[in-house]
Amino acid sequence: MIPIALTLYRGDLVATLALFFLAAVSDAADGFLARRFAWQTTLGGILDPAADKLLLATVFIVLAVLHLVPFWLMAAAVVRDVIIVLGAIAYRVCFGPLTARASIVSKVNTLCQAAYILSVIGREQFAVPPAWVVVALGALTFITIVISGMDYVLRYGQAALKEARSRPQGLSADRSGLV
């Protein structure tokens, strides 16, 4: 993540593209191997999506600092991830471990973010793809950010509500004889 951010910030967009592509390929290979050979672990299930979120957020932030993506789009992507992480932490503190599964809309969002980032960098370095493609990918990215963020909040909010309802109610102060 740091080498990608540094090459991007320094304006070495070819190296940035190569490193970003390498990160994407290694992440896909890691996921495939973990599923294929049942090498999944609880820690890996936490670290892998966290690393993906951190990479995309970092690249979005650097692109916004360089004025290559709109600040509002970067903010939407980062805020979505912060809400997801804070929600997971709150769930863990209140209810215990959370079995988080990425929904299809979340996977589409990650793909849209990566495609948008690659199109922005490609447009800046090689004038490809056309500007309208970058704008369309940016719009699609924003839409999937909003939908996937709402999906996470609703799905895990419902899980928290179900968990809270399934727990026995504690004695109120007046029934415990403490009043």
Q: Is 9 a domain residue?
A: no
Q: What is the pLDDT of residue 88?
A: 86
Q: What is the pLDDT of residue 170?
A: 53
User: How is residue 143 written in tokens?
Assistant: 């839409």
Q: Is 12 a domain residue?
A: no
Q: Closest Cα to residue 119, out of 98, 97, 106, 136?
A: 136
Q: Is 173 a domain residue?
A: no
Query: Cβ distance 17 to 125 under 8 Å?
Result: yes
Q: Is 46 a domain residue?
A: yes
What are the residues whose beta carbons fall under 8 Å from the beta carbon of 36, sequence distance 6 or more? Answer: none
d(CA 103, CA 37): 22
Cβ count within 10 A of residue 118 = 19
Query: Cβ distance 123 to 134 under 8 Å?
Result: yes
Q: Is 17 a domain residue?
A: no
Q: What is the DSSP letter of 68?
A: S
Question: In sequence order, what DSSP letters do the residues of 102-159 get, joined into one string?
Answer: --HHHHHHHHHHHHHHHHHHHHHHH--S-HHHHHHHHHHHHHHHHHHHHHHHHHHHHH
Q: Is 15 a domain residue?
A: no
Domain count, the chain: 1
Query: Cβ distance 141 to 74 under 8 Å?
Result: no
Sign of torsion, CA 133 138 142 145? positive
Q: What is the DSSP letter of 174?
A: T
Give per-10-residue mean pLDDT for the chain (179 aa).
93 94 87 86 80 93 97 98 90 84 90 95 96 98 97 91 81 43
Could you list the residue range(s) of the whole structural domain that residue 75 is in?
Answer: 41-166
Q: Is 178 a domain residue?
A: no
Q: Is 19 a domain residue?
A: no
